[in-house]
Amino acid sequence: GVRHEPTNKIVLDLERLYDEVSDELAYVARYARAIQQQRGDYNGRVLSIRADDLRALAIVYDISPSGLIERLTEAGVLVADPRAFFAS
Ligand code: C2E
Ligand code: C2E
Ligand code: C2E
């Protein structure tokens, strides 16, 4: 059958990301807006992003991809489980 384990997908909470007042995540926010534009995905509260794109962003921040994940987690802009996110 179909397995439904929590994904390791990188899912951004767009409301939180775009509300983030500090400049720290400005590049992530800009990147997310560009991806929304490319996909025509404007109505979502969350956005799943490519692992490749996370790697590229990590280079911009001069940290490791896992380091960037940590930073996003600390800023509270990552959604651990999008299905739980919508259930709450
Ligand atoms: P593309 O890379 O040639 O992908 C064409 C279509 O294949 C996408 O249309 C999407 O429907 C599907 N697709 C490709 N990769 C994935 C994937 O990992 N997961 C899923 N669910 N679908 C996938 P879409 O979404 O309209 O995107 C159009 C074009 O916009 C893409 O063409 C790509 O050039 C760019 N794009 C969209 N999202 C991203 C992104 O997150 N990162 C990057 N680097 N480019 C993106
Ligand atoms: P999931 O990946 O756990 O996503 C749960 C819900 O989060 C999605 O419900 C959608 O409302 C939201 N979500 C996640 N990523 C994005 C995003 O990049 N943009 C937007 N606008 N919303 C997002 P939804 O659409 O009913 O999908 C339910 C489940 O169906 C998803 O769970 C996933 O397992 C599967 N699914 C939906 N679309 C795709 C897809 O393009 N590719 C793959 N592989 N699975 C998909
Ligand atoms: P997903 O749709 O569940 O896809 C999971 C992984 O399957 C992707 O991880 C990628 O490695 C592979 N994959 C799925 N569809 C394609 C495809 O058309 N072409 C290629 N080359 N690989 C594919 P990845 O790249 O880390 O993406 C993570 C999630 O980001 C995707 O989960 C999807 O929710 C979203 N995403 C990525 N690229 C696109 C895109 O172009 N359009 C849309 N709408 N969503 C995308």
Q: Which of 7, 49, 78 for mutating ligand 3's site (highest number of atoms within 8 Å of CB)?
A: 49
Q: What is the ipTM of this complex?
A: 0.89
**37-77: pLDDT as tens digits:** 999 999 999 999 999 999 999 999 999 999 999 999 999 99
Quote the ligand 3 centre to 50 CA distance (angstroms). Answer: 6
Cα→Cα distances 2→5, 11, 17, Å: 9, 21, 32
Our answer on whether the CB atom of 36 is closer than 6 Å to any ligand 2 atom is: no
Q: Under CATH, which architecture does the 10-87 domain have?
A: Orthogonal Bundle (1.10)
Confidence label for 88 from pLDDT (cuts 50, 70 and 90) = low
Query: What's the pLDDT score for residue 7?
Result: 54
Confidence label for 86 from pLDDT (cuts 50, 70 and 90) = confident
Those residues with Cβ within 8 angstroms of residue 3's Cβ, 6 or more apart along the chain or in another chain:
none
Query: What's the pLDDT score for residue 21?
Result: 75
Residue spans of the domains in the chain: they are 10-87
DSSP secondary structure code for residue 62 in this structure: T
Amino acid identity, residue 66?
S
